[in-house]
Amino acid sequence: MFVSLEGVDGSGKSTQARLLAEALGPETVTIREPGGTEAAERIRGLLADPELPLEPLAELLLFLAARADLTERVIRPALEAGRDVVADRFSDSSVAYQGAARGLGVGEVISLCDRATDGLWPDLTLLLKLDPEDSIGRAVGEDRFEAEGLLLQQTVAAAYDEIAQISDRMVPVDATGSVEQVHQRVMAAVEAHRGQPA
Protein backbone atom coordinates (compact mmCIF):
# COMPACT_ATOMS: atom_id res chain seq x y z
CA MET A 1 0.00 0.00 0.00
CA PHE A 2 1.21 3.46 -0.91
CA VAL A 3 -0.08 6.19 1.44
CA SER A 4 0.74 9.88 1.19
CA LEU A 5 0.11 12.62 3.73
CA GLU A 6 -0.70 16.11 2.56
CA GLY A 7 -1.56 19.43 4.18
CA VAL A 8 -0.43 23.00 4.65
CA ASP A 9 2.93 23.70 6.28
CA GLY A 10 2.75 22.97 10.00
CA SER A 11 -0.26 20.65 9.75
CA GLY A 12 1.60 17.85 11.55
CA LYS A 13 2.20 15.63 8.49
CA SER A 14 5.73 14.64 9.35
CA THR A 15 4.85 13.49 12.87
CA GLN A 16 1.81 11.61 11.60
CA ALA A 17 3.79 10.01 8.76
CA ARG A 18 6.29 8.70 11.30
CA LEU A 19 3.59 7.34 13.62
CA LEU A 20 1.72 5.73 10.73
CA ALA A 21 4.90 4.08 9.46
CA GLU A 22 5.63 2.73 12.96
CA ALA A 23 2.09 1.35 13.17
CA LEU A 24 2.38 -0.35 9.78
CA GLY A 25 5.53 -2.19 10.87
CA PRO A 26 9.31 -2.22 10.49
CA GLU A 27 9.26 -3.10 6.78
CA THR A 28 7.50 0.17 5.97
CA VAL A 29 9.46 2.64 3.84
CA THR A 30 9.04 6.27 4.86
CA ILE A 31 9.89 9.08 2.48
CA ARG A 32 9.80 12.83 2.69
CA GLU A 33 9.30 14.99 -0.39
CA PRO A 34 11.33 16.57 -1.82
CA GLY A 35 14.14 14.18 -0.90
CA GLY A 36 14.82 10.50 -0.34
CA THR A 37 17.63 9.99 -2.84
CA GLU A 38 20.99 11.73 -3.01
CA ALA A 39 19.96 13.82 -6.02
CA ALA A 40 16.55 14.62 -4.55
CA GLU A 41 18.10 15.77 -1.26
CA ARG A 42 20.35 18.16 -3.19
CA ILE A 43 17.34 19.48 -5.09
CA ARG A 44 15.60 19.93 -1.71
CA GLY A 45 18.44 22.23 -0.67
CA LEU A 46 17.87 24.44 -3.74
CA LEU A 47 14.13 24.57 -3.21
CA ALA A 48 14.33 25.33 0.49
CA ASP A 49 16.50 28.44 0.07
CA PRO A 50 14.21 31.50 0.36
CA GLU A 51 17.04 33.69 -1.01
CA LEU A 52 17.21 31.82 -4.33
CA PRO A 53 14.87 33.35 -6.93
CA LEU A 54 13.11 30.70 -9.03
CA GLU A 55 10.50 30.96 -11.74
CA PRO A 56 7.33 28.95 -10.95
CA LEU A 57 7.90 26.54 -13.84
CA ALA A 58 11.52 26.00 -12.82
CA GLU A 59 10.35 25.36 -9.27
CA LEU A 60 7.82 22.78 -10.47
CA LEU A 61 10.36 21.01 -12.67
CA LEU A 62 12.79 20.73 -9.77
CA PHE A 63 10.10 19.11 -7.60
CA LEU A 64 9.27 16.76 -10.48
CA ALA A 65 12.93 15.88 -11.07
CA ALA A 66 13.30 14.97 -7.40
CA ARG A 67 10.06 12.94 -7.51
CA ALA A 68 10.97 11.10 -10.72
CA ASP A 69 14.25 9.95 -9.16
CA LEU A 70 12.60 8.98 -5.87
CA THR A 71 9.77 7.12 -7.57
CA GLU A 72 11.95 4.96 -9.80
CA ARG A 73 14.75 4.32 -7.37
CA VAL A 74 12.91 3.95 -4.06
CA ILE A 75 9.10 3.84 -4.21
CA ARG A 76 8.52 1.40 -7.08
CA PRO A 77 11.14 -1.11 -5.88
CA ALA A 78 9.65 -1.00 -2.35
CA LEU A 79 6.09 -1.55 -3.60
CA GLU A 80 7.26 -4.33 -5.91
CA ALA A 81 8.90 -5.99 -2.91
CA GLY A 82 5.51 -5.90 -1.14
CA ARG A 83 6.45 -3.18 1.33
CA ASP A 84 4.16 -0.36 2.45
CA VAL A 85 5.33 3.14 1.56
CA VAL A 86 4.38 6.22 3.59
CA ALA A 87 5.13 9.53 1.87
CA ASP A 88 5.30 12.88 3.64
CA ARG A 89 3.97 14.77 0.55
CA PHE A 90 3.75 13.54 -3.04
CA SER A 91 2.24 14.77 -6.31
CA ASP A 92 -0.76 16.48 -4.69
CA SER A 93 1.67 18.97 -3.13
CA SER A 94 2.76 20.04 -6.62
CA VAL A 95 -0.87 20.31 -7.70
CA ALA A 96 -1.77 22.48 -4.68
CA TYR A 97 1.39 24.62 -4.41
CA GLN A 98 2.56 24.96 -8.03
CA GLY A 99 -0.69 24.25 -9.89
CA ALA A 100 -3.03 26.34 -7.73
CA ALA A 101 -0.97 28.71 -5.55
CA ARG A 102 1.66 29.51 -8.20
CA GLY A 103 -0.96 29.56 -10.94
CA LEU A 104 0.58 27.01 -13.31
CA GLY A 105 -2.79 25.27 -13.67
CA VAL A 106 -4.14 22.28 -11.82
CA GLY A 107 -4.82 20.12 -14.90
CA GLU A 108 -1.41 20.87 -16.40
CA VAL A 109 0.42 20.02 -13.18
CA ILE A 110 -1.56 16.77 -12.73
CA SER A 111 -0.42 15.72 -16.24
CA LEU A 112 3.20 16.59 -15.56
CA CYS A 113 3.16 14.72 -12.23
CA ASP A 114 1.70 11.73 -14.01
CA ARG A 115 4.56 11.87 -16.52
CA ALA A 116 7.24 12.30 -13.82
CA THR A 117 6.02 9.30 -11.84
CA ASP A 118 5.12 7.19 -14.88
CA GLY A 119 1.54 7.14 -13.65
CA LEU A 120 2.18 6.23 -10.01
CA TRP A 121 -0.32 7.83 -7.62
CA PRO A 122 -0.86 6.86 -3.96
CA ASP A 123 -3.53 4.28 -3.11
CA LEU A 124 -4.63 6.56 -0.28
CA THR A 125 -3.90 10.21 0.48
CA LEU A 126 -4.65 11.63 3.92
CA LEU A 127 -5.29 15.36 3.88
CA LEU A 128 -4.46 16.71 7.34
CA LYS A 129 -6.86 19.57 7.82
CA LEU A 130 -5.79 22.45 10.02
CA ASP A 131 -6.71 26.10 9.61
CA PRO A 132 -3.66 27.87 8.09
CA GLU A 133 -3.96 30.53 10.80
CA ASP A 134 -3.27 27.83 13.38
CA SER A 135 -0.73 25.84 11.39
CA ILE A 136 1.53 28.66 10.30
CA GLY A 137 2.73 29.25 13.85
CA ARG A 138 3.64 25.56 14.13
CA ALA A 139 5.68 25.32 10.96
CA VAL A 140 9.34 24.75 11.80
CA GLY A 141 11.88 27.10 10.22
CA GLU A 142 11.18 29.25 7.18
CA ASP A 143 11.49 27.77 3.72
CA ARG A 144 10.49 29.65 0.58
CA PHE A 145 6.82 28.79 1.03
CA GLU A 146 6.48 29.46 4.75
CA ALA A 147 8.30 32.76 4.21
CA GLU A 148 5.47 33.83 1.90
CA GLY A 149 3.02 33.79 4.75
CA LEU A 150 -0.63 33.17 5.39
CA LEU A 151 -2.08 34.05 1.98
CA LEU A 152 -0.10 31.34 0.21
CA GLN A 153 -1.07 28.78 2.84
CA GLN A 154 -4.75 29.74 2.50
CA THR A 155 -4.60 29.30 -1.28
CA VAL A 156 -2.93 25.93 -0.79
CA ALA A 157 -5.58 24.86 1.76
CA ALA A 158 -8.40 25.80 -0.64
CA ALA A 159 -6.69 23.89 -3.46
CA TYR A 160 -6.40 20.76 -1.31
CA ASP A 161 -10.11 20.99 -0.49
CA GLU A 162 -10.91 21.12 -4.20
CA ILE A 163 -8.70 18.12 -4.95
CA ALA A 164 -10.37 16.19 -2.10
CA GLN A 165 -13.78 16.87 -3.61
CA ILE A 166 -12.88 15.38 -6.98
CA SER A 167 -10.58 12.59 -5.81
CA ASP A 168 -11.67 9.18 -4.55
CA ARG A 169 -8.31 8.50 -2.95
CA MET A 170 -7.98 11.69 -0.88
CA VAL A 171 -9.53 11.49 2.60
CA PRO A 172 -9.70 14.60 4.81
CA VAL A 173 -8.54 14.02 8.40
CA ASP A 174 -9.22 16.51 11.20
CA ALA A 175 -5.73 17.57 12.37
CA THR A 176 -6.84 19.52 15.45
CA GLY A 177 -6.26 18.10 18.92
CA SER A 178 -3.39 16.07 20.32
CA VAL A 179 -0.86 14.09 18.26
CA GLU A 180 -2.41 10.88 19.60
CA GLN A 181 -5.95 11.94 18.68
CA VAL A 182 -4.87 12.76 15.12
CA HIS A 183 -2.98 9.46 14.91
CA GLN A 184 -6.17 7.59 15.85
CA ARG A 185 -8.04 9.39 13.06
CA VAL A 186 -5.23 8.56 10.61
CA MET A 187 -5.39 4.88 11.58
CA ALA A 188 -9.18 4.85 11.24
CA ALA A 189 -8.87 6.22 7.69
CA VAL A 190 -6.21 3.64 6.80
CA GLU A 191 -8.29 0.79 8.24
CA ALA A 192 -11.37 2.02 6.37
CA HIS A 193 -9.34 2.03 3.14
CA ARG A 194 -7.99 -1.46 3.79
CA GLY A 195 -11.50 -2.73 4.41
CA GLN A 196 -12.63 -1.60 0.99
CA PRO A 197 -12.76 -4.10 -1.85
CA ALA A 198 -9.77 -3.54 -4.18
The 8-class DSSP code of residue 127 comes to E
Reported as type and span, the H/E element at residue 40 is: helix 38-48
Binding mask 1-20 for ligand TMP (x = CB under 6 A): --------x-----------
Closest CA to 121 of 172, 162, 82, 76: 76
The SS3 call for residue 81 is coil
Shortest spacing between CB 144 and ligand TMP, in angstroms? 7
Which residue of 63, 86, 117, 125 would you call a contact of ligand TMP, by CB under 6 A?
A: 63
94 binds ligand TMP (CB under 6 A): yes
User: What's the rounded Cα separation, in Å, for the pair 164 and 94?
Assistant: 14
- 137-196 binders of ligand TMP (CB under 6 A): 143, 145
Return d(Cα 72, Cα 116) in angstroms, integer. Answer: 10
Contacts (CB under 6 A) with ligand TMP, residues 104-123: none
List interacting residues with ligand TMP (CB under 6 A). Answer: 9, 33-34, 63, 89, 93-94, 97-98, 143, 145
